[in-house]
Structure 1
Amino acid sequence: MKNLTKAFAVIALSTASFATFAATEVSMAPAGEQSIGMVSASTHGSDITTLQNKLAAKAAQEGASSYRIVSAGGENHMYGTAELYK
C-alpha cells in the first residue's frame, strides 16, 4: 500500500503544472532545451503539493525555463529532485 501511495505521488508530481511560477513543469525532457542542473527539496509532513511548490520555486530561482521532477518520496518527511532545463 505504501508503494502504491508513493507511485501516485510521483505521478501527481510529474503531471500537475502551476502557472504561478516562471519555470514550467514538464513530464519529459523538452525538445530544444538543455539540462542545466538539478535541484532538491524536502518538507516536513506528507503534503506533496508543498514539495512540488518548493521544487518549482528553486527551478525559477535558478533561471530554468522548465523542470522535470525525477524523484519524490517519503511519508512524514517528503523529499524530491528535479532536473532543470533552459
Structure 2
Amino acid sequence: MKTIKNFVAVAALSLVSFGSFAQSITASASTLDAAEAQIAAQAHQAGASYKITGARFDNGAYVSAELVK
C-alpha cells in the first residue's frame, strides 16, 4: 500500500514540475519574420528561449512556440 501511495505522489509531482517549465505562446503578423520577431521578444521578456512548434501563412503569418526556461 505504501508503494502505491509513493508512486502516485511521484507521478503527481512529475506532472506539476513538467507543466511549470513549458509555456505556449503565439504571435501573428504580416510576415513570418515579423511573427517570429514577436515570439523572440516575448521569450526575451520572459527570460527564456523558445522553440517554434507551428507556423502558417493565410492572409497573414501565425506562429506558435513553446518557451523553455
Q: How would you bin the TM-score normalised by the shorter chain?
A: 0.5 to 0.7
**TM-score, with structure 2 as normaliser:** 0.62
Alignment partner, residue 8 of structure 2: none
Deviation string 1:1-24 (CA, Å, 9 cap, x unpaired) is: xxxxxxxxxxxxxxxxxxxxxxxx
Aligned-residue offset at 1:80: 1.0
**TM-score, with structure 1 as normaliser:** 0.51
Alignment of 1:42 with 2:38, yes or no, is no
- The answer to which structure has the higher helix fraction is 2
Same amino acid, percent of matched pairs:
36
Alignment partner, residue 44 of structure 2: 60
Please list every run of 5 or more consecutive structure 1 residues that lacks an aligned counterpart in the other structure.
Answer: 1-33
Please list every run of 5 or more consecutive structure 2 residues that lacks an aligned counterpart in the other structure.
Answer: 1-19
Check whether the contact 2:32–2:57 (CA below 8 A) recurs between aligned residues.
no
Alignment partner, residue 16 of structure 2: none
Q: Paired residues, what number?
A: 50
- The equivalences for 1:63-82 within 5 A come to 63-64=47-48, 66-82=49-65
TM-align CA RMSD: 1.6
Divergent runs of 4+, >3 A: none
Aligned-residue offset at 1:71: 0.5
Aligned-residue offset at 1:77: 1.1
Aligned-residue offset at 1:36: 3.0
